[in-house]
């Protein structure tokens, strides 16, 4: 098995520690001597390649003069997240490193906003729709691999339920609703599922209709994940080479793009009416 790349959260922590070290005019060797670790270990801590333990984070905060309770708490929380494993770990052999990061982000998000061209957003898919889509996209995967993928997708949807259910807002291009995946029966059930989901207080579904014409995101879909402090706003998109994460100003630009698409979309009520009409066409 190939070696996994550093997780996104390990990279965040490493970046913060590096910035603190440099702000204090210290070299890697200074930190290494203080922790009685090797130069290489400190370098790997800062790149995220080597997990750093909470006691070492506390020691470095002392060395770097971090006294503010809020900043110390943020760094400690992040160090705990780096070492924490989640329910998705049992699927780690079946998914890419970048998607492990995505599932972790989903699990920590308080608000998710997504724009989808096709397919229907994974958090809103029925089991049958998800299976049909995966078989079409991964025709060489075994039945067992497809089943594991479907299981993971269904497990991810648990964040939509419970006391701490995430707030989800999805903009669906009309193309995602018209593309028949798995046959008319499967598609009709998928459309019904969207209508049911749209009635949940924490879920809002809007359709970007064909009548909107040319729009602000001609290159495909994306997801915006709003997390609690100390985590930043993260924008996520998938390309041919895999998942790409954007932060800071780049994520803010995607946020502006999302709002422009939202303005061109139908209201939730109008969207539900269109979905009902499309459902009738599937009969």
**Per-residue pLDDT reduced to its tens digit, 227-243:** 887 788 999 988 766 77
The confidence score (pLDDT) of residue 1 equals 39
**Per-residue pLDDT reduced to its tens digit, 85-138:** 777 777 777 777 778 888 889 988 999 999 999 899 999 999 999 999 999 999
CA distance 96 to 276: 36
Quick one: tokens of 80? 């705990």
Are the C-beta atoms of residues 218 and 175 closer than 8 Å to each other?
no
Question: What's the topology of domain 8-83?
Answer: 434 Repressor (Amino-terminal Domain) (1.10.260)
pLDDT over 90, % of the chain: 65
Residue 120 buriedness (CB in 10 A; 0-12 / 13-18 / 19+): buried
What is the residue extent of each domain of the chain?
8-83, 88-281
CA distance 90 to 73: 29
Name the nearest CA neighbour of 63 among 24, 19, 28, 10. 24
pLDDT at 2 over 50: no
pLDDT at 208 over 60: yes
pLDDT at 274 over 90: yes
CA distance 129 to 125: 6
pLDDT at 218 over 70: no
The confidence score (pLDDT) of residue 183 equals 96
Claim: this prediction has a pTM higher than 0.75: yes
When pLDDT is cut at 50, 70 and 90, the band that residue 251 belongs to is very high
pLDDT over 70, % of the chain: 96
Helix spans in the chain (H): 8-23, 28-35, 39-47, 54-63, 69-83, 97-108, 127-137, 143-156, 174-178, 184-197, 248-264, 268-281
CA distance 11 to 97: 13
Q: Which CATH architecture has domain 88-281?
A: 2-Layer Sandwich (3.30)
pLDDT at 174 over 70: yes
When pLDDT is cut at 50, 70 and 90, the band that residue 143 belongs to is very high
Helix, strand, or coil (residue 170): strand
The confidence score (pLDDT) of residue 4 equals 62
Which of 74-83, 90-99, 114-123, 267-276 shows the lowest mean pLDDT across its residues? 90-99
The distance from CA 93 to its chain's CA centroid, rounded to whole angstroms, is 19
pLDDT at 78 over 50: yes
Quick one: tokens of 113? 């906003």
CA distance 53 to 45: 10
The confidence score (pLDDT) of residue 243 equals 78
The confidence score (pLDDT) of residue 241 equals 64
């Amino acid at each position: 098995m190939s070696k996994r790349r550093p997780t996104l959260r390990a990279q965040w922590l490493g970046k913060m520690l590096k910035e603190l070290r440099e702000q204090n005019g210290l070299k890697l060797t200074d930190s290494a001597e203080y922790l009685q670790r090797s130069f290489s270990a400190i370098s790997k801590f800062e790149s995220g390649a080597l997990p750093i333990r909470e006691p070492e984070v506390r020691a470095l905060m002392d060395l770097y003069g971090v006294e503010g309770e809020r900043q110390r708490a943020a760094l400690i929380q992040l160090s705990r997240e780096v070492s924490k494993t989640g329910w998705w770990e049992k699927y780690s052999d079946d998914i890419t490193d970048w998607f492990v990061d995505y599932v972790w982000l989903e699990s920590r998000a308080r608000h998710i906003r997504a724009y989808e061209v096709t397919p229907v957003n994974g958090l809103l898919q029925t089991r049958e729709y998800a299976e049909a889509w995966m078989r079409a996209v991964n025709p060489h995967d075994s039945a067992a691999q497809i089943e594991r993928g479907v299981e993971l997708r269904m497990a991810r949807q648990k964040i939509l339920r419970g006391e701490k259910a995430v707030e989800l807002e999805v903009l669906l291009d009309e193309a995602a609703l018209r593309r028949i995946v798995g046959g008319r029966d499967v598609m009709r059930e998928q459309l019904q599922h969207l209508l049911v989901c749209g009635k949940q207080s924490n879920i809002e579904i809007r359709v970007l209709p064909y009548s909107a014409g040319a729009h602000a995101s001609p290159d495909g879909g994306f997801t915006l994940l709003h997390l609690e402090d100390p985590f930043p706003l993260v924008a996520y998109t998938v390309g041919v080479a895999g998942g790409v994460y954007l932060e800071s100003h780049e994520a803010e630009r995607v946020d502006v793009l999302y709002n422009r698409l939202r303005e061109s979309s139908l209201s939730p009520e109008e969207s539900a009416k269109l979905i009902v009409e499309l459902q009738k066409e599937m009969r």
